Structure 1
Amino acid sequence: MSDEARCEFARSGAADGTAGGRSRSPGGEGRPDRRATLRATDGVRIEAAYDRYAGPDPTGPGADDPGAIVLAHGFSGAADRPALRRAAQVFAQYGAVITFSFRGHGGSGGHSTVGDREVLDLAAAVRWARSLGHAHVTTVGFSMGGSVVVRHGALYRPDGRGTGDAEHTAAHERRTGAQPHTAPPLHTADQTGQTHRTDRTAHSAHADAVVAVSAPARWYYRGTAPMRRLHWVIQRPVGRIVSRFGLRTRVHHRDWDPVPLSPVAAAPVLSPTPFLVVHGDQDPYFPLDHPRSLAAAADPDRTELWIVPGFGHAENAAAPPLLRRIGAWTRARSATATAAAAAARHDGARTTDG
């Protein structure tokens, strides 16, 4: 199965050049600049939104493409939930921001597989970021979204290799009854309503840096009361009814088969991609052995672990100072990658001239 994603942009498009600039949404400071409907490779419709870079130096180095930050929410979150919108507004000071709702959440289609096929949703969002002109893309995931960004980072590699790009994808990503979906060429609509065809192969789904916030290291953890309640919600028929109407989250009724790669098993595959693990010492869901296990499994030369005093769990508990600290980390990685790419181009030009 191809790991490409079909993007159908519903309201405004990408043809007007969005990889820079400070203009904010005409609808208000808290609203995204544009919205889109993406389609994952298994056909599930994914709602997404884009916030332009709103940093303090629109003419400084890297302002033409400050990089994009793709935010992956936790279970029962959505693109328009206040906590994720607040995070998007903070991160927009450090790069363009894409938010989206995982399958079964918000205005997206399908049913949640609680971190399994959600890698396809994230891949669609990353491809959209690159189609908008962003060469450097950082994925930032919270809780369930944190497990997804780690698995996505292992499954989609910049060199085309990884645990899920070849035979593993064909066999392992066909679970939960979904069928492979062959994506047509990408079509976007500009502000005039004209449709433009884009070569999809130019848009890779890999992440250039990965941030996992409040993420689990392993599956089926029931060591805390909140996680025992969550397992009741996702594994019992009555729990799924409660989730659908109480949490506005539609959960798939089938168990994982096969069980997806765990975050701690995916972490070693991330290198050389920079990897940041962020966890609170007051997290009521996952104790500190989870972030420590993730960091220990990853490449020590490319991994950082932040244990944040007083921080609880995921986007709902992430205060602006912590979000700004993470944003500065993503911006620094983007600037480093941009400088390295420019140096490589310069060296290549000198070699050619010589």
Structure 2
Amino acid sequence: MSNRPAGDAARSTVRPHGETKGNGQVRAFLRTADGVSVESVYDPGADAVYEGFAGPLEADSPVSRAPVFVIAHGFTGDVDRPHVRRVARALRGHGAVVTFSFRGHGRSGGRSTVGDKEVLDLAAAVEWARRLGHARVVTVGFSMGGSVVLRHAALRPGTVDAVVSVSAPARWYYRGTAPMRRLHWLVTRPEGRLVGRYGLRTRIHHRDWDPVPLSPVQAVPRIAPVPLLVVHGDRDGYFPLDHPRMLAEAAGDHGELWIEAGMGHAEHAADDALLARIGDWAVSAAG
């Protein structure tokens, strides 16, 4: 769905424009390296006290020393979806949080390339977190977002301190489950893209990938030595357990695999207890 690999694009220019609330939350629009406007929200950690945040943070402040979690949502999500806000609230107990809407989702510009150019959206959000003064950045991705955090860490070495991928595919073009066959119809057929635009508030690009981007399982070995956590439910209806096991095998000693009993797919299935465990792991791993 792109004419060049996302990792080869120029560095993004982060130009936030938005509003600051009294609790420190900042809503902004970031500009990606290829010129797409990406809606983003910054939430300070639960223990931070602000009289009106303007950024950047003091370099030695408790907030800057705590990790910032940059959350990459799944396909058809956006920054204001209830399940995305719930993830943000759960992780705020462990550090600050940046959420954003991928291109083609919510109020962000452009059209979704279903995991290819989305690396540029994540890169803009990570750069924004760094410019706000955070010394440690953890990316946490779900489903499509899970594949994006893997590829971003591989293509942009040194930009993050830990990576968490939840319910991600290991390989492209998987059609082995009914939900994935429906997703491929949504993405590849004109009538499916209409359903995506008007029924799911997701604008999908009509072009096929050219070239095909680096797959998640190919990306994983390039992430080392950055710590990696792969999380997957044993009742995931989209991707069976061979996907997380392939990712964990590719990660080797620098990766950790959690197979969660009774868990389904992505943000909707990740309960607050699991998110708290992910937060604890990230604080330790990124330290």
Tell me if TM exceeds 0.5: yes
Amino acid in the other structure paired with 1:8:
R
Deviation at 1:65, TM superposition (A): 2.1
Identity over aligned pairs, percent? 61
Is it true that 1:251 corresponds to 2:258 in the alignment? no
1:283-304 residue CA offsets vs partner (Å, 9 max, x unmatched): 0000000000001011x22110
Q: Secondary structure at 2:253's aligned position in 1? A: coil
Contact in 1 for aligned 2:44/2:96 (Cα 8 Å) = yes
**TM-score normalised per structure 1:** 0.74
Is it true that 1:46 corresponds to 2:38 in the alignment? yes
**Structure 1 gap segments, 5+ residues each:** 14-24, 159-205, 337-354
Q: Of residues 169, 182, 185 in structure 2, which corresponds to 1:216?
A: 169
Structure-2 residue corresponding to 1:269: 222
Structure-2 residue corresponding to 1:305: 257
Contact in 2 for aligned 1:277/1:291 (Cα 8 Å) = yes
Q: How many residues align?
A: 271
Structure-1 residue corresponding to 2:92: 92
Is it true that 1:135 corresponds to 2:132 in the alignment? no
Q: Of residues 239, 243, 252 in structure 2, which corresponds to 1:286?
A: 239
Contact in 2 for aligned 1:55/1:94 (Cα 8 Å) = no
Amino acid in the other structure paired with 1:239:
G
Is it true that 1:9 corresponds to 2:1 in the alignment? no
Amino acid in the other structure paired with 1:268:
P
1:66-120 residue CA offsets vs partner (Å, 9 max, x unmatched): 1210000000000010001000011010010000000000000000000000000
Structure-1 residue corresponding to 2:283: 331
Deviation at 1:10, TM superposition (A): 1.5
1:254-298 residue CA offsets vs partner (Å, 9 max, x unmatched): 000000000000001000010000000010000000000001011
Are the structure 2 counterparts of residues 37 and 87 from structure 1 closer, same or farther at C-alpha, using a change threshold of 3 Å? same
Deviation at 1:8, TM superposition (A): 2.1
Distance 1:77 1:9 in 2: 21
Q: How does 1:1-354 map to 2 (within 5 A)?
A: 3-12=10-19, 26=22, 33-55=25-47, 62-158=62-158, 206-298=159-251, 300-334=252-286, 336=287
Deviation at 1:55, TM superposition (A): 4.4
Amino acid in the other structure paired with 2:273:
P
Deviation at 1:12, TM superposition (A): 4.0
Distance 2:63 2:78 in 1: 29
Distance 2:213 2:9 in 1: 18
Deviation at 1:316, TM superposition (A): 1.3
**TM-score normalised per structure 2:** 0.90
Distance 2:47 2:73 in 1: 23
Distance 2:10 2:142 in 1: 23
Contact in 2 for aligned 1:284/1:312 (Cα 8 Å) = yes
Distance 2:15 2:215 in 1: 31
Q: Secondary structure at 1:71's aligned position in 2? A: strand
1:230-258 residue CA offsets vs partner (Å, 9 max, x unmatched): 00000000000000000000000000000
Contact in 1 for aligned 2:64/2:133 (Cα 8 Å) = no
Amino acid in the other structure paired with 2:269:
A
Q: Secondary structure at 1:99's aligned position in 2? A: strand
Distance 1:234 1:44 in 2: 20
Give the alignment's Cα RMSD to 1 decimal: 2.0
**Structure 2 gap segments, 5+ residues each:** 1-7, 49-60
Amino acid in the other structure paired with 2:248:
A
- Which has more radius of gyration? 1
Deviation at 1:7, TM superposition (A): 1.9
Contact in 1 for aligned 2:71/2:140 (Cα 8 Å) = yes
1:33-88 residue CA offsets vs partner (Å, 9 max, x unmatched): 110100110001100000101149xxxx9554212100000000000100010000
Distance 1:302 1:230 in 2: 32
Amino acid in the other structure paired with 1:223:
G
Q: Secondary structure at 2:168's aligned position in 1? A: coil
Deviation at 1:26, TM superposition (A): 4.0
